[in-house]
Structure 1
Amino acid sequence: MRTGDRQDTASRLLASSARKSYDPLVEVDWTAPIPDDLYGMTPEWCSLYGTELWESMTEEQRITLTLHEAASISGAGIWFEMILMQMLIRDIYSHDPATPHVQFALTEIADECRHSTMFARSAQRFGVPSYRPKKWIMNSSRLFKATASGALAYGGTLFVEELLDVMQRDFMRDERVQPITRTVSRIHVLEEARHIKFAREETVRRAAHLSRVKRAYQRLVLGVSTYFVVTCLVNDQVYAAAGLDVDEARKAARGNRHYHETIREGCRGTVEFLDECGLIGGPSKFLMRRAHVV
């Protein structure tokens, strides 16, 4: 698997950032009315879509659930973007800031700050809580964000960025979805394309020099982190917000083959890429299957 020169790639990404970057506080019309007949996200991405429970819900409940699930996904995105920003800062800490590579990493960090603000503002505008992963997961992930580096850091980043990218490409094109969600998705997709390019090339470079022991370790940690990221996308309390019994809804979601296949398809390109890099395999595949990633 070939990559371009690190500094050349970074120079091109910096030029792209100069041409197309967005300030969501300006680009998104936060004062626009919220139509009460539009979904918070593409309903086919909802964890209950296609279940008997979904069929029994009123349209108002479906709209409410998608608004809350969209906010929950954004909350998970904010959580991981904070982890990503810390990993990037650690990665470039001792590098020459005059190089395009470091300057693009700093540009990406600035992008992620704006994206996190944008996700938080969209939930706030819909009057939805700021959903976060469970406290024990937040605390456990402190070790990952403090130690993950190299191919593990960039490979883990790809699972989040590319799954959100696939989702949001559907959201931004779907006229059934709230205008704010569509605009937020469009901005994120356009700017994340640069981040994905950067992360993919760095993953290839770092994975090429792993020893057998380090590769096995990174496969394991990548599987664990992927499991928790994917299973944290939907907070249980979104079901209560839609007037559903939480235990019944969780059971329906766990058995929802449509949702599992949708997640698997969303992760397919990432899994194929990381497998080529030698970062998929071993015991971690069990957790990836449990999360319906493979």
Structure 2
Amino acid sequence: MGNEAALATRDRFADRLLTGSVKKSYDPVVDVDWDAPLDPEKMFLPPEVVSLYGTALWEAMTPEQRRELSRQELANLLSTGIWFENLLNRILLRELMNDTPTSAWSHYTLTEMGDECRHMMMFGKLIDRIEARPYWPKPPARLLISALEQVLRGSMTWVAALVGEEIFDAQQRRTLDDPELQPLVSRVMRIHVTEEARHIGFARDALARRAPEMSAAELAFTKACVAVAAPLFVSLLANRHMYRRAGLDDPAAARRTALRNPHFRRNLAMGAADLAAVLDRHGLFGPAGKAIWRVAGMLPR
């Protein structure tokens, strides 16, 4: 397909996403009832999603301790989402400099950035509403996150978008209707899932167009980044500070228990299954990457 025809096909796809955005978008300020009371008996994440679920440590915890751990894990998840969507918006803004501002692709990119800005606000408001503190990076970590903006180029722009979106999306879809979940959390998850479906489609389409054009060097670099993404992602989800804030006696031991927890690892693998299939289909998932993902728990053994 010639370049002009490829751009036309790309823009037709972006036009469909724009139409979907008009029909189904949300403003968290008005579309979420932030004054609704929290249910003192319900969890902030479904029990089976909490990292220690199914372990001896979990069985020894009181219902109140389990609820508190779910609150801290939700705050950590939302905080990570804010960091990621901040980084993604900066990358997308850079990508706009390489395209014409009159294209449907550029217009959808701007629409997605608007969605992500609202998501960051929504996540921040939810952290505040559940009376938790955000898990915010220290200055050295903030420098590292900012440096990623320079690393995530070409195919890695879209791989990074999918790593940050697909796994959370899969987890949310499986749990947002759980009767044990706080209704407010379920509402936020539903909004996020609805809008992220378009973002995932956009990133998948962009990666499919980019993958056949990659040089050998870009392919090798992308495979290496894919490989290291798994342990980084898992380390964020098993943040030891969650266990400390939840009041567990030995946060480091709790983290080790979570990382070895077969239930937690199965949840990770289920959440990453669609992403792994996409990466494999485009030749971005080499044997070393798959081995690292299995060790990290993001692929079944």
Question: Which runs of structure 2 are paired with 1:240-259 in the superposition (5 Å)?
Answer: 240-245=244-249, 246-259=251-264
Instruction: Please give the alpha-carbon distance, in whole angstroms, between the structure 2 residues aligned to 1:253 and 1:137.
Output: 23
The 1:234/1:121 distance shift into structure 2, 3 A limit, reads farther
Question: Which runs of structure 2 are paired with 1:26-45 in the superposition (5 Å)?
Answer: 26-45=30-49
Instruction: Please give the alpha-carbon distance, in whole angstroms, between the structure 1 residues aligned to 2:286 and 2:142.
Output: 26
Paired residue for 1:154? Answer: 158
- Secondary structure at the counterpart of residue 95 of structure 1: coil
Aligned-pair CA distance for 1:146: 2.2
- What number of residue pairs does the alignment pair up? 293
Aligned 8 A contact 2:162 2:203 in 1: yes
The runs of 5 or more residues in structure 2 that have no matched partner are: 1-5
Aligned-pair CA distance for 1:262: 0.7
The runs of 5 or more residues in structure 1 that have no matched partner are: none
- Determine which of 89, 104, 107 is the counterpart of 1:100: 104
- Determine which of 44, 51, 58 is the counterpart of 1:54: 58
Instruction: Please give the alpha-carbon distance, in whole angstroms, between the structure 1 residues aligned to 2:147 and 2:36.
Output: 41
Aligned-pair CA distance for 1:136: 4.1
The 1:43/1:4 distance shift into structure 2, 3 A limit, reads farther
> Does structure 1 residue 169 correspond to structure 2 residue 173?
yes
Aligned-pair CA distance for 1:251: 2.1
Aligned-pair CA distance for 1:75: 0.7
Point out the more displaced range, 280-289 or 245-254: 280-289
Instruction: Please give the alpha-carbon distance, in whole angstroms, between the structure 2 residues aligned to 1:4 and 1:48.
Output: 49
Instruction: Please give the alpha-carbon distance, in whole angstroms, between the structure 2 residues aligned to 1:85 and 1:91.
Output: 10
Aligned 8 A contact 2:152 2:160 in 1: no
TM-score (norm 2): 0.92
Aligned-pair CA distance for 1:131: 1.1
**RMSD after superposition:** 1.8
Deviations 1:226-266 (A, max 9, x none): 43133212321221222212122112112101101110111
TM-score (norm 1): 0.94
Instruction: Please give the alpha-carbon distance, in whole angstroms, between the structure 1 residues aligned to 2:142 and 2:287.
Output: 26
Deviations 1:257-292 (A, max 9, x none): 110111011101100111111111154444323321
Paired residue for 2:27? Answer: 23
- Determine which of 246, 265, 268 is the counterpart of 2:270: 265
Deviations 1:159-180 (A, max 9, x none): 1201111111133211110111
The 1:3/1:90 distance shift into structure 2, 3 A limit, reads closer
The 1:54/1:264 distance shift into structure 2, 3 A limit, reads same
What amino acid does structure 1 have at the position aligned with 2:175? F
The 1:34/1:99 distance shift into structure 2, 3 A limit, reads same
Aligned-pair CA distance for 1:222: 2.5
Aligned 8 A contact 1:219 1:284 in 2: yes
Aligned 8 A contact 1:260 1:292 in 2: yes
Point out the more displaced range, 230-239 or 253-262: 230-239
What amino acid does structure 2 have at the position aligned with 1:188? H
What amino acid does structure 2 have at the position aligned with 1:196? I
The 1:67/1:56 distance shift into structure 2, 3 A limit, reads same
Paired residue for 2:235? Answer: 231
